[in-house]
């Protein structure tokens, strides 16, 4: 939702774990005194750890899994987004600390798929049969570099939209109807200008958007080429679409449109509740994040089209099983459950996680879904339309680190430490250290 963000058939792997029948044989093969027929050995007690970077709403699914795996205890742990992925990098390098199941977001997936030796090949546990379920590009994201090993199964994808606060729009004298709001910003330049009108209205305590990093990422995600080309060359510093996104983001900062809040930080959560910003770039999974973080704001939100003509994918996750785990069969079975069709359907209606299984895009449960938290916006249609129009962008091995580099650069501008020109120049130097 990436964030969320975000999981989107029940196979033989999900059959119940049966107790192992053993016969105690004494003396000779014919069975002597003390032989016991039909005795059972209790299944081994197993603990699986699941490492996430937000609330994926998996808790009820763990209970479902335990119905067929009564010997399995599931322990979930969470860390902040960047910390989670940095921790996994360190854990794989040191050979200790990784969970049995690890969530890896789209911006980082290409960091880990070259490390095939560090993860179990899910093909070995029967999950290769799931290929026909998936969007082709989403399936390929979870493969090893040579395409021979299945390292991760996708949960969701993150088709783009824009969430906005109708109460704050009304105070600023802007339209509140979602179709009219969409017409405010056919382009990102128009979004900038609409923001100037909002700032000019001086709505107490509110800015136009949360922070520039998410808008910058959305603009880059909409481009044909992002930070890397198809040959995995880092082109972020020379790609004119990246520079355009940076410059527009800097202009938004200079127009005082930013609330200077980093997504998913505690102050951001507070800002959601307080109404500290009027718009927020909104892949499908983020609708669930907003609902979780600011439950008292139900009915104050709506969903409009994203600037720039739609398209683009932000976020979405894969579940992977590091070889540090001692129970790969059970980990694979859990991954299967957490990503199957029924689960992805449920997690869309419960948490806004847009399925990565395209057959579900025509399911009436999704196409007819209206989200009451977002003023009954037809989010099923909005996000499936976005997913169908989506043209996937190649994600390079250090895309997450590149995004962090530009996020830091925009933050320096916000803090008045550098001009846009100075911060761009420093970001180019910082990119040279990313290999």
Whole-number Cα distances in Å, 368 to 183, 360, 363, 427: 23, 12, 8, 44
Q: What is the 3-state secondary structure (H, E, C) of 146-164?
A: CCCCECEEEEEEEECCEEE
Q: What per-residue confidence (pLDDT) applies to 310?
A: 66
Contact 341, 359 (CB under 8 A): yes
List beta partners, residue 153. 319
For 27-31, 48-52, 188-192, 269-273, which range has the lowest pLDDT when averaged over its residues?
27-31
| Six token digits for residue 218 | 């959305």
Number of residues assigned to the chain: 435
The span from the CA of 120 to the CA of 117, in Å, is: 8
| Six token digits for residue 374 | 């977002």
- How much of the chain exceeds pLDDT 90, in percent? 83
**Tens digit of pLDDT for each residue in 398-408?**
999 999 999 99
Q: What per-residue confidence (pLDDT) applies to 18?
A: 32
Buried residues in 165-204 as b, exposed as e (16+ CB within 10 A): bbbbbebbebeeebeebbebbeebeebbebbeebbeeebe
The span from the CA of 251 to the CA of 248, in Å, is: 5
Q: What per-residue confidence (pLDDT) applies to 312?
A: 75
Q: What per-residue confidence (pLDDT) applies to 386?
A: 84
pTM: 0.86
Closest CA to 224 of 201, 241, 209: 241
Helices (H) and strands (E) in the chain, counts: 17, 12
Q: What per-residue confidence (pLDDT) applies to 9?
A: 34
- Please give the torsion angle defined by the CA atoms of residues 357, 360, 362 and 367, in that order, rounded to the nearest 10 degrees: -120
- How much of the chain exceeds pLDDT 70, in percent? 90
CB atoms within 10 A of CB 95: 11
**Tens digit of pLDDT for each residue in 55-78?**
999 999 999 999 999 999 999 999
Closest CA to 300 of 163, 202, 161: 163
Closest CA to 346 of 369, 326, 362: 369
The span from the CA of 39 to the CA of 24, in Å, is: 8
The answer, yes or no, to whether residue 117 has pLDDT greater than 90, is yes
Contact 413, 423 (CB under 8 A): yes
**Tens digit of pLDDT for each residue in 155-196?**
999 889 999 999 999 999 999 999 999 999 999 999 999 999
**Tens digit of pLDDT for each residue in 333-360?**
999 999 999 999 999 999 999 999 999 9
To 5 degrees, how large is the angle CA 33–CA 35–CA 37?
150
Q: What per-residue confidence (pLDDT) applies to 38?
A: 47
Comparing 25 with 314, which gets the higher pLDDT?
314
The answer, yes or no, to whether residue 104 has pLDDT greater than 50, is yes
The span from the CA of 353 to the CA of 345, in Å, is: 9
**Tens digit of pLDDT for each residue in 14-34?**
333 333 333 333 333 333 333
Residue position matching structure tokens 């990246």: 242
């Amino acid at each position: 939702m990436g964030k969320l963000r975000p999981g989107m058939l029940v196979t033989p792997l999900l059959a119940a774990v049966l107790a192992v029948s053993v016969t105690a044989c004494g003396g000779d093969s014919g069975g002597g005194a003390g032989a016991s027929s039909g005795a059972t050995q209790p299944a081994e007690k197993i603990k699986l750890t699941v490492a996430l970077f937000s609330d994926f709403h998996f808790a009820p699914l763990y209970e479902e899994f335990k119905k067929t795996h009564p010997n399995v205890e599931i322990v979930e742990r969470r860390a902040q987004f960047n910390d989670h992925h940095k921790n996994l990098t360190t854990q794989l390098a040191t050979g200790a600390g990784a969970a049995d199941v690890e969530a890896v977001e789209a911006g980082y997936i290409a960091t880990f798929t070259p490390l095939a030796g560090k993860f179990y090949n899910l093909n070995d546990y029967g999950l290769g049969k799931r290929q026909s379920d998936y969007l082709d590009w989403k399936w390929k994201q979870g493969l090893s570099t040579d395409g021979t090993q299945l390292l991760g199964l996708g949960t969701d994808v993150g088709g783009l939209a824009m969430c906005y606060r109708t109460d704050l729009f009304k105070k600023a004298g802007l339209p509140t109807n979602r179709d009219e709001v969409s017409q405010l910003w056919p382009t990102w330049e128009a979004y900038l200008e609409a923001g100037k009108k909002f700032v000019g209205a001086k709505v107490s305590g509110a800015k136009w958007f949360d922070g520039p990093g998410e808008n910058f990422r959305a603009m880059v995600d909409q481009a044909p080429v992002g930070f890397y080309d198809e040959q995995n060359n880092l082109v972020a510093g020379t790609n004119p679409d990246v520079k355009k996104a940076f410059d527009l983001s800097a202009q938004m900062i200079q127009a005082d449109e930013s609330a200077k809040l980093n997504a998913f930080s505690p102050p951001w959560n507070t800002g959601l509740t307080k109404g500290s910003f009027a718009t927020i770039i909104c892949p499908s999974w983020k609708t669930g994040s907003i609902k979780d973080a600011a439950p008292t704001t139900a009915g104050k939100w709506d969903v409009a089209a994203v600037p720039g003509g739609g398209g683009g994918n932000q976020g979405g996750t894969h579940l992977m099983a590091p070889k540090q785990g001692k129970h790969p069969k059970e980990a694979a079975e859990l991954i299967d459950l957490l990503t199957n069709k029924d689960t992805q359907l449920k997690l869309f209606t419960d948490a806004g996680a847009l399925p990565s299984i395209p057959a579900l895009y025509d399911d009436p449960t999704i196409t007819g879904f209206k989200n009451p938290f977002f003023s009954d916006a037809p989010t099923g249609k909005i996000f499936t339309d976005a997913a169908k129009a989506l043209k996937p962008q190649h994600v390079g091995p250090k895309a997450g680190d590149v995004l962090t580099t530009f996020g830091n650069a925009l933050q320096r501008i916000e803090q008045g430490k550098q001009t846009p020109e100075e911060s761009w120049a420093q970001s180019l130097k910082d990119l040279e250290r990313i290999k």
